[in-house]
């Protein structure tokens, strides 16, 4: 590839001046200098005096943002001040990097953007750095993200758990900020799914923040609801409708299996296969069935009338949650459905017992129709992360990955399509002036 000289405008860190440029193979080195303070305070004895700098007989080569896909470095000669009282030698650090590292702040931010949707080993391989360096960058950059700003307003909170290992082992609890429904954020991750884990997450919120929470959205487990009700004095518990529906549909499936067990025993192999295919129509919304599918389902109901009762009850239950305009209306309609199941001789006592125990939280859904859909989506995201990283066994590691892939996801898009097109149009306008 041919090499040519070209003049390029570079974005340097604030206060940094360019002294020279050298190229070594595919690496670009920019010699820089930066302002030094007039006074220096000794970090050992505390004496402050006029600075007298000495330069080390070496240079630091600090990794910066790539230039045209090739590594670039800021090169400078380090200096130090020697205290006149205690003789302590104190180095003056460059303003564009951390102490004891050889990469700039903006290179750290670039590494984080590269990590979104990837893992440490892959990013390290692409950038020519070690996986340990990537892990250190993540630790340094995300320190502030893991602390919740005391001034942050949190109105809605969601709780759920996820298993990091197969066979329901190594659970962690996730606390999510649902204040902005379009952009939920993970607030805390704690190992376990018990009361201690829940309290550990809530301990990150100040007393004022807990008092400002309006709703907490949970499943019907025995931990999250009671603990949140105690520690959120002004919050209403909202039980997620999809967990309620799952509980109801589990009872429907149990009754269906009891009803069809003897019936299937009399069928041939081909008839059993056809019967299993009809179960998909049984579970689907009737509005989405084709006429031939509806007719096949009606034929099954003629042979097993109990299935029609179960089907109608399930559809009615869904309609209540979809259409009930107010809490009182929903409560009345659910009471009517309860009487109907009893009249039909369908044993839904297991569900109605659960409903009685969680009635307030279930009915709170109908006030504003709040759900835990975002929380379940974050759970799925966490599962994808564990698979992409070939297993995650630390709650803190999962928290870091969720911050990158969820809380900071918008940073992965450095330029929008509109911005790039605007740049191209601007360059076109500039170069058109030179066209003849």
pLDDT in tens, 38-74: 888 888 888 888 888 888 889 999 999 998 889 999 9
User: Distance between CA 285 and CA 126 in Å, rounded?
Assistant: 48
| The pLDDT of residue 385 | 85
> Between β-strands 215-218 and 156-165, what pairing exists: parallel, antiparallel or unpaired?
parallel
| Lowest mean pLDDT, pick from 23-37, 120-134, 383-397 | 383-397
Contact 183, 206 (CB under 8 A): no
Assign 232 a pLDDT band (cuts: 50, 70, 90).
very high
User: Distance between CA 134 and CA 30 in Å, rounded?
Assistant: 23
| The pLDDT of residue 428 | 84
| The pLDDT of residue 2 | 66
Give percent above pLDDT 90 in the chain: 45
| Lowest mean pLDDT, pick from 150-164, 330-344, 379-393 | 379-393
pLDDT(181) > 70? yes
Assign 436 a pLDDT band (cuts: 50, 70, 90).
low
Summary mean pLDDT of the chain: 88
Going by C-beta distance under 8 Å and a sequence separation of 6 or more, which residues neighbour residue 189?
A: 172, 173, 174, 175, 201, 395, 396, 398, 399, 402
- Among residues 156, 163, 172, the alpha carbon closest in space to that of 218 is found at 156
pLDDT in tens, 287-305: 888 888 888 888 888 888 8
Cβ-count burial of 428 within 10 angstroms (0-12 exposed, 13-18 middle, 19+ buried)? exposed
- 170-209 in b/e form (b: 16+ CB < 10 A) is bbbbbbbbbbeeeebbbbbbbbbbbeebbebbbeebeeeb
| The pLDDT of residue 309 | 92
| The pLDDT of residue 357 | 93
Please state the CATH superfamily assignment of the domain spanning residues 156-240+372-404 in this structure: Ribonuclease H-like superfamily/Ribonuclease H (3.30.420.10)
Q: What is the mean pLDDT of residues 120-129?
A: 91
pLDDT(411) > 80? no
User: Distance between CA 72 and CA 70 in Å, rounded?
Assistant: 6
Rg (alpha carbons) of the chain, rounded to whole number: 32
- 3-state DSSP helix/strand/coil % of the chain, to nearest 5: 50, 20, 30
Going from the C-alpha of 320 to that of each of 313, 314, 315, the distances in angstroms are 11, 10, 9
Residue ranges of the domains in the chain?
Answer: 1-101, 156-240+372-404, 241-368
pLDDT(331) > 80? yes
Beta strands across the sheet bearing 89-92: 53-55, 79-82, 89-92
| Lowest mean pLDDT, pick from 6-15, 33-42, 157-166, 332-341 | 6-15
- 210-241 in b/e form (b: 16+ CB < 10 A) is bebbbbbbbbbeebbbebbbebbeebbbbbbb
Instruction: Give CA angle at 165 (162, 171), nearest 5°.
Output: 35
| The pLDDT of residue 8 | 78
| Bigger pLDDT: 37 vs 338 | 338
Assign 118 a pLDDT band (cuts: 50, 70, 90).
confident
User: Distance between CA 251 and CA 291 in Å, rounded?
Assistant: 28
Q: What is the mean pLDDT of residues 392-402?
A: 87
| The pLDDT of residue 68 | 86
| The pLDDT of residue 415 | 74
User: Distance between CA 321 and CA 168 in Å, rounded?
Assistant: 30
> Between β-strands 215-218 and 236-239, what pairing exists: parallel, antiparallel or unpaired?
parallel
Assign 3 a pLDDT band (cuts: 50, 70, 90).
confident
Q: What is the mean pLDDT of residues 133-162?
A: 91
């Amino acid at each position: 590839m041919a090499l040519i000289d070209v003049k390029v405008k570079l974005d340097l860190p604030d206060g940094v001046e360019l002294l020279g440029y050298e190229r070594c193979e595919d690496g670009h080195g920019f010699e820089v200098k930066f302002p030094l303070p007039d006074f220096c305070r000794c970090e050992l004895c505390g004496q402050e005096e006029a600075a007298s700098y000495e330069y080390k007989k070496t240079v630091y080569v600090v990794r910066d943002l790539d230039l045209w896909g090739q590594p670039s470095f800021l090169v400078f000669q380090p200096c130090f001040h020697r205290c006149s009282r205690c003789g302590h030698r104190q180095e003056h650090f460059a303003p564009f990097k951390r102490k004891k590292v050889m990469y700039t702040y903006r290179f750290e931010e670039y590494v984080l953007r590269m990590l979104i949707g990837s893992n440490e080993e892959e990013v390290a391989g692409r950038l020519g750095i070690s996986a340990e360096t990537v892990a250190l960058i993540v630790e340094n950059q995300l320190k502030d993200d893991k602390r919740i700003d005391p001034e942050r307003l949190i109105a809605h909170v969601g709780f759920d758990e996820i298993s990091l290992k197969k066979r329901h082992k190594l659970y962690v609890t996730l606390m999510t900020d649902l204040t902005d429904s379009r952009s939920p954020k993970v607030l805390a991750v704690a190992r376990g799914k018990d009361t201690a884990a829940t309290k550990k997450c809530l301990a990150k919120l100040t007393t004022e923040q807990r008092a400002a929470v309006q709703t907490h959205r949970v499943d019907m487990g025995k931990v999250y609801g009671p603990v949140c009700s105690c520690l959120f004095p002004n919050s209403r518990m909202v039980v997620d409708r999809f967990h309620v529906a799952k509980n109801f549909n589990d009872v429907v499936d149990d009754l269906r299996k009891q009803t069809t067990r003897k019936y299937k025993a009399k069928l041939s192999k081909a008839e059993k296969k056809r019967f299993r295919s009809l179960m998909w129509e049984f579970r689907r919304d009737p509005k989405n069935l084709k006429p031939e599918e509806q007719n096949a389902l009606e034929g099954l109901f003629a042979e097993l009338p109990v299935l029609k009762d179960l089907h109608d009850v399930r559809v009615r239950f869904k309609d209540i949650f979809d259409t009930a305009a107010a809490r009182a209306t929903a409560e009345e309609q659910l009471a009517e459905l309860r009487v109907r199941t009893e009249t039909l001789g369908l044993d839904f006592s297991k569900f109605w017992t659960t409903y009685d125990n969680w009635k307030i939280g279930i009915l709170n859904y109908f006030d504003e129709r709040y759900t835990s859909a975002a929380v379940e989506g974050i759970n799925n995201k966490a599962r994808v992360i564990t698979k992409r990283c070939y297993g995650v066994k630390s709650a803190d590691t999962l928290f870091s990955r969720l911050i990158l892939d969820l809380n900071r996801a918008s940073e992965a898009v450095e330029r929008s399509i509109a911005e790039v097109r605007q740049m191209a149009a601007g360059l076109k306008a500039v170069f058109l002036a030179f066209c003849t």
